[in-house]
Amino acid sequence: MRSIDHFIDGRRVPGTSGRHSDVFDPNSGQVQAHVALASAAELDRAVQSAVIAQRDWAKVNPQRRARVMFEFKRLLEVHMDELAALLSSEHGKVHSDSRGDIQRGLEVIEFACGIPHLLKGEYTQGAGPGIDVYSMRQPLGVVAGITPFNFPAMIPMWMFGPAIACGNAFILKPSERDPSVPVRLAELMIEAGLPEGVLNVVHGDKDVVEAILKHPQIRAVSFVGSSDIAQSVYALGAQHGKRVQCMGGAKNHGIVLPDADLDQAVADILGAAYGSAGERCMALPVVVPVGEATAQALREKLVAQIPGLRVGVSSDPQAQFGPVVTAAHRARIKQYIQMGVDEGAELVIDGRGFSLPGHEDGFFLGPSLFDRVTDSMATWREEIFGPVLQIVRADSFEQALALPSQHQYGNGVAIFTRNGDAAREFAEQVEVGMVGINVPIPVPVAYHSFGGWKRSGFGDLNQYGQDGVRFFTRTKTVTQRWPRGGAVADQSFVIPTMR
């Protein structure tokens, strides 16, 4: 059986803990590799390598650090198809979607190429007599990222791109379910000119996450994953004195007002609900038509189009979505579908019986559609993370606005309308971190930043953009005086002021 090694000090290093986890091919349902699960001692080896490498890396001027990022971006483009095929083979998403996963990470690397400009500090001349004040952003040292299975290229790059450009060394703990692409990314960073030890990949589960959170030489931890784990990672990291940001789960709503371009809205909702088999934190698994007529028309169009969606193996260029990541995850999604039936929602289309001829053991599920879901149901409150779309009917704009606002998650939301006034009001009032107006998946571009509200995000800084630079640096402020003539100032025992 192939084994997937850690990547420490610029090379692949086999695990020594004796523990490993299975990596499946979701298309065939077979175990295709074992990934090593690190012990605390193996993590420490990576941290010691990072500590040494970071001292020199921080001294490399930002322009030279940017050159590594430029070269890495070029290598990502050269290796795009190879990386996408590797990604699909462990995750199950279709090839075009895997390319999108890499492309969105690449855009953060492009942003990080601007690091000389982004790290320019602030300066005030003449803040007092002969006094100037300046501030600079300095790297933290060794920092870590813990990432989920669903974007094994993009999310690691959200984190290590800004962190490394800022002069830190980085320990990446990717998902144990699709760990190969993160290792390839680290190899390409070395090929791009990054010194060995600045980026290390350590595989593992809960045990190594805890070791990261307790390690005294790791200064900051960025986490993306499900909310309960995000919250516990946030608490444990903070308890150990670290800077922590944790992005959690989601349940995003798409509001359809009566004046929306319904054909366009349906096309957008289908892609956002079922793309990547619904395994996206910015998926749109809830649609909220406003008014009976909108609900009826929307339902008819969905029912007409959903059976025509093509579910296939991830290498099928015609497939719109592939299998889910593991058999265990598929079983969980099926349980949620049953729970929806039991709590009284109307299961209009049931994808549970789907089987792909020739791939009967793959982790496939067909698209499911529920209507008449209400806000009292557990299947509305909880994240399903599968190809399941729920219609929650609303009588009014106010009721539609309240649904995502009152939800425990607040990651993304979309509104479909031709009414600028209503859209503006919605964007201003809704209690959600990222809003799309006629945009179904409003993942902000790389030079803004990504983050949800409520149980979708713990900590106050977002991923990438300016917030990424802020998270991975600390501010030092210098107040300097160069007195002329050597006259001795009077002694003063009160706090200095700039009157």
The footprint of ligand NAD (CB under 6 A) covers 146-151, 173, 175-176, 205-206, 209, 224-226, 229, 233, 247-250, 281, 383, 385, 411, 452, 456
Residue with tokens 């009566």: 258
Rounded least distance, CB 126 to ligand NAD, Å: 44
CA atoms of 299 and 289, how far apart (whole Å): 9
Rounded least distance, CB 149 to ligand NAD, Å: 4
CA 454, 459, 464, 469 dihedral sign is positive
Structure tokens that stand for 350 in this block: 């049931």
Rounded least distance, CB 210 to ligand NAD, Å: 7
152 contacts 174 by C-beta, under 8 angstroms = yes
- For 197, 198, 472, the CA distances from 10, given in Å and listed in that order, are 6, 8, 22
201 contacts 174 by C-beta, under 8 angstroms = yes
Rounded least distance, CB 206 to ligand NAD, Å: 4
CA atoms of 65 and 68, how far apart (whole Å): 5
Tell me whether residue 281 is one of the annotated catalytic residues: yes
CA atoms of 446 and 107, how far apart (whole Å): 6
Residue 416: Cβ-neighbour burial (10 angstroms; 0-12, 13-18, 19+): buried
User: What is the CB neighbour count within 10 angstroms for residue 368?
Assistant: 27
DSSP E strands, 332-458: 346-349, 368-371, 388-391, 409-410, 412-416, 434-437, 453-454, 457-458
Rounded least distance, CB 170 to ligand NAD, Å: 15
140 contacts 475 by C-beta, under 8 angstroms = no
CB-nearer residue toward ligand NAD: 151 or 426: 151
CB-nearer residue toward ligand NAD: 173 or 454: 173
CB-nearer residue toward ligand NAD: 49 or 326: 326
CB-nearer residue toward ligand NAD: 334 or 372: 334
Which has the closest alpha carbon to 240: 223, 261, 263, 216? 216
Parallel/antiparallel/unpaired status of strands 30-36 and 20-25:
antiparallel
CB-nearer residue toward ligand NAD: 302 or 430: 430
Which of 113, 166, 246, 281 is the catalytic position?
281
445 contacts: CB under 8 Å, gap ≥ 6: 107
65 contacts 167 by C-beta, under 8 angstroms = yes
Strand partners, 307: none
CB-nearer residue toward ligand NAD: 57 or 151: 151
Residue nearest ligand NAD, Cβ-based:
225
Which has the closest alpha carbon to 225: 467, 21, 405, 452? 452
The per-residue DSSP string of 47-70 comes to HHHHHHHHHHHTTS-HHHHHHHHH
Structure tokens that stand for 6 in this block: 């850690």
CA 24, 25, 26, 29 dihedral sign is negative
CB-nearer residue toward ligand NAD: 146 or 337: 146
CB-nearer residue toward ligand NAD: 54 or 411: 411
Cα–chain center distance at 8: 24
Angle 362-279-440 from CA coordinates, rounded to 5°:
135
202 contacts 208 by C-beta, under 8 angstroms = yes
CB-nearer residue toward ligand NAD: 281 or 401: 281
Rounded least distance, CB 56 to ligand NAD, Å: 29
Rounded least distance, CB 313 to ligand NAD, Å: 22
CB-nearer residue toward ligand NAD: 180 or 417: 180
End-to-end CA gap in the chain: 73
469 contacts 65 by C-beta, under 8 angstroms = no
| Active site amino acids | 281
